[in-house]
Structures are given as C-alpha cells and as structure tokens.
Amino acid sequence: MRRFLTDRARRAVAASLRGATRPAAPSPAPAAALSRPSPSAPSAMAAYMARAMSTSAAGTPPVSLDTINPKVLEFKYAVRGEIVTHAQNLEQELHKNPESLPFDEILYCNIGNPHSLGQQPVTFFREVLSLCDHPALLDKSETHALYSSSDAIERAWQILEKIPGRATGAYSHSQGVKGLRDEIAAGIAARDGFHASGDNIFLTDGASPAVHMMMQLLIRSEKDGILCPLPQYPLYSASIALHGGSFVPYFLDEETGWGLEVDELKKQVDEARSKGITVRALVVINPGNPTGQVLAEENQKKIVEFCKNEGLVLLADEVYQENIYVEDKQFHSFKKIARSMGYTDDDLPLVSFQSVSKGYYGECGKRGGYMEVTGFNADVREQIYKVASVNLCSNISGQILSSLIMNPPKVGDESYESFMVERDGIISSLARRAKALEEAFNSLEGITCNKAEGAMYLFPRLHLPQKAIGAAQAAGAAPDAYYALRLLQATGIVVVPGSGFGQAPGTYHFRCTILPQEDKIPAIISRFKEFHEKFMDEFRDVSRDEAPTGA
Ligand SMILES: Cc1ncc(COP(=O)(O)O)c(C=O)c1O
C-alpha cells in the first residue's frame, strides 16, 4: 500500500496546483509614470491620467501580467478551468448549429451546482425567503391560498421580527443578524448535543469567503503553512497562494477508501517544520471533496488529539454534512467530537464551515453560509470581527437561508411532512445516482472507483495505457486532462481532471458530480461507456485480460 510519498514527488504535486508559469519579477515602471502629480497642477493631473489610461511611453500597457500581483498568477482553479471554458465554447457552437457536434447538449458534471442541473428548490425555504423579501404579501388574504403552509408565513414573520427595521435591503451587523445567528446556534446545539453561541457565528456569502477570512488571519508570510488534504478542493490551494502562505499537503490513501491517517499528518508537520515552516492549521474536508469519504468517529478523535498536541487550528470544512449516502456512516461535527472528548473552548481553536450551497438544498446562487469560530481569545475574535466588517455584511437572503437550513420544519409543524418528502427524495435520489455511476465506472476496463459515501462527487482512477499517456504528452497535456478533453469532445460530458485537485504522482483521476437528474443518468452512462471503450481500443497497449478492472 502506498503510504508516504517521497519529498520530491510531494513537491511536484503541490507545484502542479500552482500555475505552470511563475511571473518574472515585475519590470520597473518608467520613471515618468511613477512621478506623482501635484494636486495644485490640474494640467499635470490630466496628463498623468491620460498616461495611466493609455499605454506608457515605452508602449507597454500600464497593467500587464508582469505587473499584476504575482500571487494571482500563481494558482489554478480547475473546477472552472480550461475544460469548462472549452465546454462553454462548444455550447455556443451548439446554439448556432445544433447539428455541428456529435451530441445535443453539454452535461456539466464538473461542479457541485445542483440547481443548474435541474434540482428544484425546497418549497418551505423559498416560501419563507420570498415573503421576507416582499413583506407586503404577508398582509394579503390571497397569500394563505398561494403559499402551501401557514408555518412558512409564520416563520417569515418571526424572521422579519429579528431583522432590524424588518428590512432585507439594509446592511446588518458584520457577523450577520444576531437573531439569525442565535437560531443557527440553536440548530448546531440540537445537532451536536453541546452548547453553541450566536456570538461565535459569522455569517458569510457562502463558505468560500469564510475560508479566505481565516487564511487572511492565519497567514503572515510564506513561512506559515496550512496542512491540506490531497486530493483537495482547490479553494484551499488558491486561498493559501493568494494570501502568500505555504501549502503543506498530506495525502489521503485511495486504497483505504481515501483514508486520513494521523501518521501521515505527523510526518508532514515534522517535515514542514524541519524546513522552517510554522504549521498553523489543519484543513479537513468531511465529507470529502473530491473524494467522497465520510470520516469515522474514532478517526476524528485522533485528528482532534493531533491538533491539540501540535498546537494547530482545526479548520473543519463541513459543508457536505447533510450529504451522506451509506447506512454505516454518519456525520459528526468536529466540535461535537472535541466536546465529547472533554475539550473546551480553552483547549482547541476550531472553525467549522457550513454553506447553503450543498446538502439537499443546493442553493449555490444564494451565497449563504457561516463559520462557527471557537477557541480563540477575545483579542483575536475582535480582529476576526474587524476583517468581517471590511465587507460590511453578507447578503441578507443568504443569512436567512442559513438560519433555515439549520432550523428546518420540525415534527408537528404543518409543513413538516411535505418538507421531509422533498428532503428525503433528494438525498435518496443522490444516493441512487452515486451508486449507479460508481457501478458503471467500476464495470469498465481501466477504471477503479471508490464509493461516494457522501458529498456530491465520484473520483474514479484512470489506469491509462502507456500509449494514451504518450499521446497526452505529445499534445502537451496532463494525461487526465487529455482524457477529459477527449471525453468532452466526444460526448459533451464535462468532468474535472484529477490534476486540478492534486493526486499521487503517476496516478490519474477525474472528478464527476453525481448531480445530473436521475432520468439522465442512463444516457450519461451509455455515452460515457461508448467513449471509454473506444478510447481504450484506440490506445490499448496490453491485452484486455491484463488491464485492471473495477474494485
Ligand atoms: C469542500 C468545499 N468547501 C467549500 C465550498 C464553497 O462553497 P460555497 O462558497 O458555495 O459555500 C465548496 C464548494 O463546492 C466545497 O466543495
């Protein structure tokens, strides 16, 4: 079993998550462009502006790749990368000339964006949101006939009471509306069985800004390192690069179902420290993206213990907490695990990220989410608040939705039954889609695929023939990117090459969401199979009997 990779291999993978080209040092701007105009000289100001708006005297534009922040050039973001851009171009081509391609639609399996693939919003949530946004409807008699349950109307009233001025168009407190934070805290306490406080909640425009905020807080220079899983969701590598820190990878073990081993964490921390890196935090994504594993409670305990012993902040990305598809696994928040071990706020700095974009709700476009920040002292908390206040506040619809997902209808509420039918319908359908795709991938020559225990993705491994690897190299592409591009061109199916998430050297994967609607899955599977079989036939360099098949 592959456990630990060599130092060189690890560096190569971490580097592959950055852009291929590091910018040259910025060339000095011509002295004339740098001289500041005197405020008392309007004509000099006009000349300065004219210069700044056009190209410099030397003919170089005032802003070029050589002069923008090199940290921006440094990272890659594969889930919206080149394959997706190519897919969008093909989509335009299809609009113009539907007969021009061998398929009639592009199937975006690249990103966890459920509503874009036809998932319907949860009625209760949308009814409450719409009433909060247009409170005049609350006073109309027709509203009761139009809205499916009176508790949605009642909930909208309750929420508006919590919002100062009942105004969803006003800025709120920079951590979010206090009454909504208290509601979220009550939801966390009900989920975990341990106290939670609204004062520890920071409402954000999705989990992404919350992650950026923590990186901004923790990273002082490239000497500060953040331990992240590989494969990882590229928000982490991108955010660390943007904030000028060091990405310290730890590998998940594919052979044990993407297991997270504390020995591996320890080895990476020691290695980073030996190079003068101060490791500040450990990122754990549970359930995993792109890998779909759900951590076992005992494993989580070891991780908490490790953070405590090593003095690390635990950054727990728990955005897929509602997406569990197997009976023998359950979601446990890291805060619950830490509290059940007897650790209090004084023992362990821990941040949990949650989002309205995932779960059964999948409301990515509403941009809602929060982080629960515990175990930081008051001085540091004040600084986190200051960082949050630079953005004034997160959007109010996202705040309301965050409170709703953490406090959905309960037994006895009028809307409870219909809500549960919608909720369970979505989760059980996702489970069926995950299983159907996993079985299809595993039935193919040259593909092995771990189960998606949770989240929204499968991350199959491609055992590519040497000839295919050679063809990719000749085309100047990573082998998995070459495969993904050929798949797109032949079928219209968009997946993300594994190299965008980081993978053990010499292994190739792709990430495919389980999100296309259930009635589309058989067609996707048959299109995929047809493509894959032809691809293997084109490049096969071993006999069919020797090639590995499904796990
Ligand atoms: C693991 C993980 N964390 C965070 C996010 C960010 O989600 P959002 O900013 O939409 O809340 C995503 C999105 O796919 C994700 O997969």
Distance 33 CA to ligand 1 centre (A): 41
Position 18 confidence tier, pLDDT thresholds 50, 70, 90? low
Rounded distance between C-alpha atoms, residue 224 and residue 373, angstroms: 20
Which amino acid does the sequence have at 247? F
Q: What is the pLDDT of residue 132?
A: 96
Q: Is 238:344 a contact under the CB 8 Å cutoff?
A: no
> Whole-angstrom Cα distance, residue 406 to residue 402?
6
| List of E strands, 481-532 | 493-494, 496-497, 508-513
Tell me the three state secondary structure of residue 430.
Answer: helix
Q: Which of 116, 204, 289, 457 to mutate to test the pocket of ligand 1 (most atoms within 8 A of CB)?
A: 289
* Contacts of residue 27, Cβ cutoff 8 Å, sequence gap at least 6: 66, 67
CATH architecture of 78-117+431-539: Alpha-Beta Complex (3.90)
- Is residue 443 a contact partner of residue 550, using CB atoms and an 8 Å limit? yes
**d(C-alpha 281, C-alpha 439), whole Å:** 37
Q: Is 147 in the pocket of ligand 1 (CB under 6 A)?
A: no
What would you report as the CA-atom Rg of the chain, rounded to the nearest whole angstrom?
25
- The answer to whether residues 127 and 133 touch, using CB atoms and an 8 Å cutoff, is no
Residue 545 pLDDT > 80:
no
The ipTM of this complex is 0.99
The encoded tokens of residue 467 equal 């000839």
**Which mutation among 235, 252, 323, 371 tests ligand 1's pocket best, with the greatest number of atoms within 8 A of CB?**
235
pLDDT tens digits, one per residue of 212-242: 999 999 999 999 999 999 999 999 999 999 9
Whether the CB of 285 sits within 6 Å of ligand 1: yes
pLDDT of 2 above 60: no
Does the Cβ of 231 fall within 6 Å of ligand 1?
A: no
Does residue 364's CB lie within 6 angstroms of at least one atom of ligand 1? yes
Q: What is the pLDDT of residues 164-206, one digit of tens each?
A: 888 888 899 999 999 999 999 999 999 999 999 999 999 999 9
- Cis amide linkage into residue 231, ω under 30° from 0: yes
Please give the CATH architecture assigned to the domain spanning 172-406.
3-Layer(aba) Sandwich (3.40)
206 lines ligand 1 (CB under 6 A): yes
CA distance 449 to 437: 9
Q: Which atom of ligand 1 is nearest to the CA of 320?
A: 1
**289 in contact with ligand 1, CB cutoff 6 A:** yes
Residue 81: band (very low, low, confident or very high) from pLDDT cuts 50, 70, 90: confident
Q: How far apart are CA 91 and CA 96, in angstroms?
A: 9
The model's pLDDT over 302-350, given as tens digits with 9 standing for 90+, comes to 999 999 999 999 999 999 999 999 999 999 999 999 999 999 998 999 9
Provide the sign of the torsion angle of the four alpha carbons 76, 108, 516, 396, taken in this order.
positive
For the Cβ of 112 lying below 6 angstroms from any atom of ligand 1, the answer is yes
Arithmetic mean of pLDDT, 500-513:
93
- Do the beta carbons of residue 206 and residue 221 sit within 8 Å? no
How far is ligand 1, taken at its centre, from the CA of residue 141, in Å? 40
Cα–Cα distance for residue pair 461/510, rounded to 1 Å? 7
At 320, the amino acid letter reads Y
Distances (CA, A) of 247 to 336, 341, 406: 27, 29, 32
The full set of domain ranges for the chain reads 32-66, 78-117+431-539, 172-406
> 235 in ligand 1 pocket by Cβ < 6 Å?
yes
- 74 pLDDT band (50/70/90 cuts)? confident
Candidate from 11-15, 24-28, 440-444, 491-495 with smallest mean pLDDT: 24-28
Nearest Cα to 300, choosing from 275, 342, 336, 271? 336
| DSSP assigned state of 11 | H
Per-residue b/e over 61-85, b at no fewer than 16 CB within 10 Å?
eeeeeeeeebeeebbbebbebebbe
334 lines ligand 1 (CB under 6 A): no
pTM, full prediction: 0.87
For ligand 1, the distance from its centroid to the CA atom of residue 21, given in whole angstroms, is: 27
